[in-house]
Structure 1
């Protein structure tokens, strides 16, 4: 979709990063409203950006963890359409999670929970590896040339 003939286009890269980040948070918000929303009295940004909410000791914490993992799987699908190249999937996935780390740092301080780090590094790995796999499958598809042949 966004891949062009020009090798270095910083505006394209910024547009891809912004689109991927927005789609990631839209997906995360949708999944959290489905999984976490019924369990809490009021949704807030704390469930997105506060490291203390990512915990394995409560059912709500497990729902938050599941939301993060499911959004990383959906994010891998976004990589296929936005980035379109397997070799760029790790870069864009890492960018999404580095921006997320920065927002979490601004929101609630440096994440000191080991659970938060394990969840986010695992989600980064899932998004990057699944995105690379899906992009490679798309890149290796056969090019249909039958419709370009003339009937002689």
Structure 2
């Protein structure tokens, strides 16, 4: 007789599916570069700089001794802040956020190294990647936990309507009123203290 296997935990296969993880990584990386491209294009046009692919993919553009490098650093940090929204929408689980945030930056390191034909050597680039990864991780975890801990509403009336009903819905002291559940009239009867007789 074949041995019966225990059924998997609900959602376990869906959460750990390699295809789903690869799809999420590709979507996040695409969103990361698309958002950065838009921000860098805007910053370059406003600053009057020539728009080049080096601004997006080369680590040599991120230097701490020129104004353009600091401007690009600010743009990349803003990009990380916006990417927290993508993490919240695409991942939505706080315990997975650090893995995906670090994966984005690791892939960016590989892409930058391949584009520039060398591993980054500027301290400013490395410091920026560390700050960006920390920002994405901490804000991503915080936002996902905030969403996970929000109370779930199962329909019904809103809180303002409920507060109005609490004052009007029933009256104590022998007067009649409608129940909150709309089940009809009822009468509140006072209880006297003593030997247990009402």
Pairwise same-fold verdict (TM > 0.5): yes
Aligned residue for 2:151? Answer: 142
* Matching of residues 45-56 of structure 1 within 5 Å: 45-56=53-64
Contact preservation (8 Å) 2:44, 2:50: no
Given candidates 70, 75, 86, the residue that maps to 2:78 is 70
* Matching of residues 109-128 of structure 1 within 5 Å: 109-128=118-137
Structure of larger gyration radius: 2
State the TM-score, normalized to the length of structure 1: 0.90
Alpha-carbon distance between aligned partners in 2 of 1:42 and 1:36, rounded to the nearest angstrom: 7
Contact preservation (8 Å) 1:36, 1:63: no
Q: For 1:76, what is the secondary structure of its paired residue?
A: helix
Cα deviation, residue 36, structure 1: 2.3
Q: For structure 1, which segment, 53-62 or 25-34, has the greater mean C-alpha deviation from structure 2 after superposition? A: 53-62
Higher RCO structure (Cα 8 Å, ≥6 apart):
1
Alpha-carbon distance between aligned partners in 1 of 2:27 and 2:182, rounded to the nearest angstrom: 43
Aligned residue for 2:105? Answer: 97
* Structure with greater proportional helix content: 1
Cα deviation, residue 58, structure 1: 1.9
State the TM-score, normalized to the length of structure 2: 0.70
Structure 1 gap segments, 5+ residues each: none
Q: CA RMSD in A?
A: 1.9
Structure 2 gap segments, 5+ residues each: 1-9, 158-180, 184-198
Q: After the TM superposition, list the runs of 4 or more consecutive aligned residues in structure 1 that deviate by more than 6 angstroms.
A: none
> 1:3-34 CA deviation, whole Å, 9 max, x = no partner?
x9323211111111011000011110111111
Alpha-carbon distance between aligned partners in 2 of 1:145 and 1:104, rounded to the nearest angstrom: 48
